Amino acid sequence: MGNATQAPETPQNTTTRPRIAFIGCGYLGATYAICFAELGYEVVGYDINTAKIDAFSSGTLPFHEAGLPELLKKNLESGRLRFTTDVQAVADFADVHFICVDTPQRKGEPGADLSYIEAAVTELSRHLTRKCLIVGKSTVPVGTASWVQELVDRHAPADLGVEVGWSPEFLQESNAMHDVLRPSRIVYAAQSEWASKLLKDVHRGILELAAVEDREVPVVETDLATAELVKVAANAFLSTKISFINAMADLCEVTGGDVTDLARAIGHDQRIGNKFLRAGIGFGGGCLPKDLRALTARAGDLGVGESFRFLGEIDQLNTRRRSHTVRAVAELVGRPPGPAGPDLSGVRVAYLGATFKPDTDDIRDSPALAIAQGLRRARADVVVYDPEGLDNAQTAAPELSYVKTLVEAVADADVVCAMVPWEEFRTLDPEALGRQVAERRILDGMNAFDADQWTAHGWTYRGIGR
């Protein structure tokens, strides 16, 4: 199987290839547009943001995703891929329109904000001149597809018979290309035979690539409500797994256990599985936290809130990791928190990692960045280094100090906090690092180091739950 940074050979089979538009060119829409052009489809990416469209059109990716810039350039050159802000051109072009706009958390409320979907669907519908299929891909509360069909019926010319379908995505940032070209499964819902056939044709390229590579991709065709629910169900389940292992980490800390051994031991049971059992500073990013809250809110609206009360606890457990970690740093430097919280004035913290996970520049809901801010509120002198996330972090948290190299970050530090498992941090050498810091103290928020090895080099080591 190829990896995420490796462009696949485009399958030679030239069966029916519907023309596809991706409406909204954020992480999701842009990655899909590029990858579907790579699969041999004629694709247009549409966004209202001119700067973004100009960037894509000139071959520049406005976010960090390894391998994707090369694929963008290759497919622009092939002529199969283009980007535009011209909604009429998009409406005239595509057989299938995938809606990929953001559905962020509403300000001050747990539910999802659907205003971008409303705007995108309304605008597109008004310009449609031919029968086509509009397929939701954005993560939404269950019931949204019917509302989108109502919007289409209200704004598109009635005689066109435009239909709405749904097909959730499961792409992980830093593995996005792989997840689109070689997905773990394809899920979609259609309301007619015509739409079902079109969705089969849309996904044929993925199945052909799988056949060439001797893999199988399961296809689940289902109803609209289920297709909408699949995505939030998957993300709520993954969040639950992480919060569960973090709860076990708390128990390990008070009993002298080691949560990394515990996770390995239970993960060997195939019913449990070993993925998403890394205990640490908690989950973040643009999806897991918001999807958890949106699902809880929607279940409440639909009268089954009680069954989802536990997800509120999963969320809180996750948020508590942040104050827990600040406290762990305070204890590590011999300043256990008093009634007014920790006082870390005069403590120089080398802070490694700002993004919500490695191999991305995304800092949305980043636990690492929130903990850095918590340490700053405790008056520590926090110097942050991150391989890709510095610009975004600096905009979001200007009160912290930022440096462009690891060497600058660790110089004369009283404590090193290694928070995001970037390769550059996981491979740190305890002896070499020890010569650069003022005090050999390390908080391993990644749970990636061998504690004995660091202790042998004179470090006071603290992991999470070990």
Catalytic residue list: 287
Q: Does residue 356 bind ligand UDX (CB under 6 A)?
A: yes
Contact between 87 and 21 under an 8 Å Cβ cutoff? The reply is no
Q: Under rule CB under 6 A, which residues in 310-329 are in contact with ligand UDX?
A: none
The most distant pair of C-alpha atoms in the chain lies apart, rounded to whole Å, by 76
In the complex, minimum distance from the CB of residue 157 to ligand UDX, in angstroms, rounded to a whole number: 34
The interface region with ligand UDX, picked from 5-13, 147-155, 278-286, 370-378 by CB under 6 A, is 278-286
Smaller CB separation from ligand UDX, 136 or 284: 284
Smaller CB separation from ligand UDX, 357 or 441: 357
Can you tell me which of 52, 80, 182, 278 binds ligand UDX, judged by CB under 6 A?
Answer: 278
Q: CA angle, 65 as apex, 64 and 68 as ends, to 5°?
A: 120
Q: Under rule CB under 6 A, which residues in 224-253 are in contact with ligand UDX?
A: 235, 238, 242
The interface region with ligand UDX, picked from 141-149, 220-228, 277-285, 405-413 by CB under 6 A, is 277-285
Backbone angles phi, psi at 348, to 5 degrees: -95, 115
Smaller CB separation from ligand UDX, 55 or 277: 277
Backbone angles phi, psi at 221, to 5 degrees: -100, 130
Smaller CB separation from ligand UDX, 283 or 402: 283
In the complex, minimum distance from the CB of residue 238 to ligand UDX, in angstroms, rounded to a whole number: 6
Q: Does residue 267 bind ligand UDX (CB under 6 A)?
A: no
Smaller CB separation from ligand UDX, 5 or 436: 5
The interface region with ligand UDX, picked from 9-17, 116-124, 168-176, 210-218 by CB under 6 A, is 168-176
How far is C-alpha 319 from the chain's CA centre? 17
Sign for the pseudo-dihedral over CA of 376, 381, 385, 389? positive
Can you tell me which of 47, 173, 253, 258 binds ligand UDX, judged by CB under 6 A?
Answer: 173
In the complex, minimum distance from the CB of residue 297 to ligand UDX, in angstroms, rounded to a whole number: 18
Smaller CB separation from ligand UDX, 12 or 184: 184
Return d(Cα 391, Cα 401) in angstroms, integer: 12
Smaller CB separation from ligand UDX, 112 or 413: 112
Can you tell me which of 41, 83, 188, 283 binds ligand UDX, judged by CB under 6 A?
Answer: 283
In the complex, minimum distance from the CB of residue 262 to ligand UDX, in angstroms, rounded to a whole number: 13
Can you tell me which of 5, 172, 240, 274 binds ligand UDX, judged by CB under 6 A?
Answer: 172
> How many Cβ atoms sit within 10 Å of the Cβ of residue 50?
9
> How many Cβ atoms sit within 10 Å of the Cβ of residue 39?
23
In the complex, minimum distance from the CB of residue 86 to ligand UDX, in angstroms, rounded to a whole number: 29
Q: Does residue 171 bind ligand UDX (CB under 6 A)?
A: yes
Q: Does residue 287 bind ligand UDX (CB under 6 A)?
A: yes
In the complex, minimum distance from the CB of residue 226 to ligand UDX, in angstroms, rounded to a whole number: 17
Q: Which of 381, 383, 355 is nearest to 368 (CA)?
A: 355
Strand duo 163-166 + 20-23: pairing: unpaired
Q: Does residue 295 bind ligand UDX (CB under 6 A)?
A: no
Token duo for residue 78: 């092939």
Token duo for residue 348: 């120089």
Q: Does residue 170 bind ligand UDX (CB under 6 A)?
A: yes
In the complex, minimum distance from the CB of residue 339 to ligand UDX, in angstroms, rounded to a whole number: 30
Q: Does residue 52 bind ligand UDX (CB under 6 A)?
A: no
Smaller CB separation from ligand UDX, 23 or 287: 287
Residues that bind ligand UDX (CB under 6 A): 169-173, 235, 238, 242, 276-278, 280, 283-285, 287-288, 356-357
